[in-house]
Amino acid sequence: PLGSMAAGVLKDPEIADLFYKDDPEELFIGLHEIGHGSFGAVYFATNAHTSEVVAIKKMSYSGKQTHEKWQDILKEVKFLRQLKHPNTIEYKGCYLKEHTAWLVMEYCLGSASDLLEVHKKPLQEVEIAAITHGALHGLAYLHSHALIHRDIKAGNILLTEPGQVKLADFGSASMASPANSFVGTPYWMAPEVILAMDEGQYDGKVDIWSLGITCIELAERKPPLFNMNAMSALYHIAQNDSPTLQSNEWTDSFRRFVDYCLQKIPQERPTSAELLRHDFVRRDRPLRVLIDLIQRTKDAVRELDNLQYRKMKKILFQET
């Protein structure tokens, strides 16, 4: 049975239309947990009617702040259902059961952050270029529709079995640009988002900043300032010079790309469309970079010790 509150709002046909009426417990079988967040968990599952493999984000709307949780679910569903691009996660529908929304999406092997965790070392420059290129295509699509992701980081950039790059996690996204609220994950936040706490607005350029931080994350395994507490990091980002790539092993092209993303003044920072013309992402690279990276990752997962293996075996789910 639906919660009384949800049952009530479902009388609104516009909201009722956002949800399928089938029982998700019957439709989706073989659930395995693959991720966890503040909202609940994400599962690997199979659609029993079509045999299609999917990912399901279960979001509960019971307990404390039921109304806020329900509004967050509606927001994420409304955002996801309008997306249609090869570099944004494909939305397949939402179901309701026992005060929980089942948000069904295409299944990915894992995030760029999972890759770092499996390999325990930075990615190679061509791999970073390939991931960044895919993410940038996704961002250019969002920004051309006046949408802002607001939580770009390796943990929210997913990879599929055939090596496609998909932006995911639209729980923080803004359907309006410019926007003004304080939203995102501290270490990846653009200075103008932090300063918008007091005044001012920002636009899709905030995602470009976060993409620059994500490049450093992929190259160094952690974003800058990660050893600080979040409050100090926010203060530091707003007040100090932009971070840069530490090692001088990286090419000039990569360094310039990161420096360009991390221009503190948003007007001086390039748009996603401009960055798609940057040499760092346009340079020739082997077609199979990401397919090879995924293969290497799967091999590495098989070699992990027990505890690590249990955490990362999700990368092997699709083949078992």
Nearest C-alpha neighbor of 281 from the set 257, 261, 263, 248: 257
Cβ of residue 168: shortest distance to ligand ATP, in angstroms?
Answer: 5
Q: Does 286 bind ligand ATP (CB under 6 A)?
A: no
In contact, 59 and 101? CB cutoff 8 Å: yes
Cβ of residue 198: shortest distance to ligand ATP, in angstroms?
Answer: 26
Question: Which residue type occupies 226?
Answer: F
Q: Which does 266 bind (CB under 5 to 8 A by kind): ligand ATP, Mg ion, none?
A: none
Q: In what order do the strands lie in the sheet with 157-159?
A: 110-111, 157-159, 165-167
Which residue out of 151, 169, 203, 207 is catalytically annotated? 151
Nearest C-alpha neighbor of 53 from the set 35, 28, 77, 36: 28
When binding is defined by CB under 6 A, the residue of 93, 138, 155, 223 that contacts ligand ATP is 155
Q: Which stretch binds ligand ATP (CB under 6 A): 10-18, 45-53, 151-159, 280-288?
A: 151-159
284 part of the active site: no
**What does the alpha-carbon distance between residue 45 and residue 23 come to, in Å, rounded to a whole number?**
14
Q: Which stretch binds ligand ATP (CB under 6 A): 15-23, 155-163, 209-217, 282-290?
A: 155-163
Q: Which two tokens stand for residue 303?
A: 């070699």
Within 67-106, the residues that bind ligand ATP by CB under 6 A are: 89, 105-106
Question: Which residue type occupies 195?
Answer: L
**What does the alpha-carbon distance between residue 221 and residue 120 come to, in Å, rounded to a whole number?**
8
**What does the alpha-carbon distance between residue 197 and residue 182 come to, in Å, rounded to a whole number?**
6
Give residues in contact with Mg ion (CB under 5 A): 156, 169
- As annotated, the active-site residues are 151
Q: Residues interacting with ligand ATP, by CB under 6 A?
A: 34-35, 37-39, 42, 55, 57, 89, 105-108, 110-111, 155-156, 158, 168-169, 171
